[in-house]
């Protein structure tokens, strides 16, 4: 009887934690929800590998090149034990929502990338691009490293941008309603603050333009 119980437990565990590969077609934008943990992997083809608990409850929807990944309606905000690998060959936008954690496993080397986070989601990415568009709002966190010629950053309502390791030539930053940002610029750093925010500027830029209204702080880091 004891052996039978152990065997049944093993079967139940195996059934709960699984791995599954799904073909998702062509996409250029990824949107992740429900606290899921995602690795982005550069590949020759587009596919999604699901691992962990309740993989059968993950919904993948590709509409007009936008791939949305979330739990079904009965599992909302319960994706923290589910792990997702997204294999892509052309990615222009990374969008994290609802506490999702997204890590880019390899350096993104292309002309432009856009990264957006909100609702406590996090994205960590290494970049080698000409233009970077960043947006962190409502507690979202972006951690970026590498190089970019031009960078445009928006931080709002408690968002955090950790960009001191992303070396840029020119950076424009707008921060409002609280939030934090670390930026690196060699030639021009333009910082606009509305209703509070904390900014650290690295790289000793040749020109620093500051525009503050109703609070906020800009600190040049040596």
| Total length of the chain | 222
Is-contact 186 150, C-beta < 8 A?
no
Q: What is the dihedral of CA 73, 74, 79, 81, to 10 degrees?
A: -160
100 close to 38: Cβ distance less than 8 angstroms = yes
Cα–Cα distance between 222 and 216 in angstroms, integer? 20
Domain total of the chain? 1
- pTM for the model: 0.89
In CATH, what number is assigned to the domain containing residue 42?
A: 2.160.20.120
The reported pLDDT for the residue numbered 56 is 86
Task: Please give the Cα distance from 114 to 123 (Å, whole number).
Answer: 11
Measure Cα distances from 107 to 6, 55, 125, 127, 169 in Å: 45, 28, 7, 5, 19
Yes or no: say if 156 and 177 are a contact pair by the CB < 8 Å rule: yes
Closest of 72, 69, 73, 74 to residue 36, by C-alpha: 69
pLDDT in tens, the chain (222 residues): 544 444 444 444 444 567 899 999 999 999 999 999 999 999 999 999 999 887 888 999 999 999 999 988 766 655 667 889 999 999 999 999 999 999 999 999 999 999 999 999 999 999 999 999 999 999 999 999 999 999 999 999 999 999 999 999 999 999 999 899 999 999 999 999 999 999 999 999 999 999 998 889 999 998
Looking at residue 215, its pLDDT comes to: 82
pLDDT at 105: 93
What's the domain range around 103? 2-220
């Amino acid at each position: 009887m004891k052996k039978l119980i152990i065997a049944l437990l093993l079967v139940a565990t195996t059934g709960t934690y699984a791995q599954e590969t799904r073909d998702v077609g062509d996409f250029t934008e990824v949107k992740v929800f429900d606290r899921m943990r995602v690795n982005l992997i550069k590949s020759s083809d587009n596919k999604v590998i699901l691992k962990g608990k309740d993989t059968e409850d993950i919904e993948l929807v590709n509409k007009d090149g936008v791939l949305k990944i979330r739990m079904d309606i009965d599992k909302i905000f319960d994706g923290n034990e589910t792990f997702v690998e997204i294999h892509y060959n052309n990615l222009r936008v990374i969008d994290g929502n609802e506490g999702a954690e997204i890590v880019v496993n390899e350096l993104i080397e292309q002309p432009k990338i856009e990264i957006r986070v909100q609702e406590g989601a996090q994205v960590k990415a290494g970049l080698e691009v000409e233009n970077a568009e960043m947006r962190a709002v409502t507690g979202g966190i972006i951690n970026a490293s590498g190089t970019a010629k031009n960078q445009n950053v928006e931080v709002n309502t408690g968002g955090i941008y950790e960009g001191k390791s992303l070396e840029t030539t020119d950076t424009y930053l707008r921060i409002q309603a609280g939030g934090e940002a670390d930026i690196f610029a060699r030639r021009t750093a333009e910082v606009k603050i509305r209703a509070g925010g904390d900014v650290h500027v690295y790289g000793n830029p040749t020109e620093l333009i500051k525009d503050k209204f109703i609070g906020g702080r800009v600190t040049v880091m040596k």
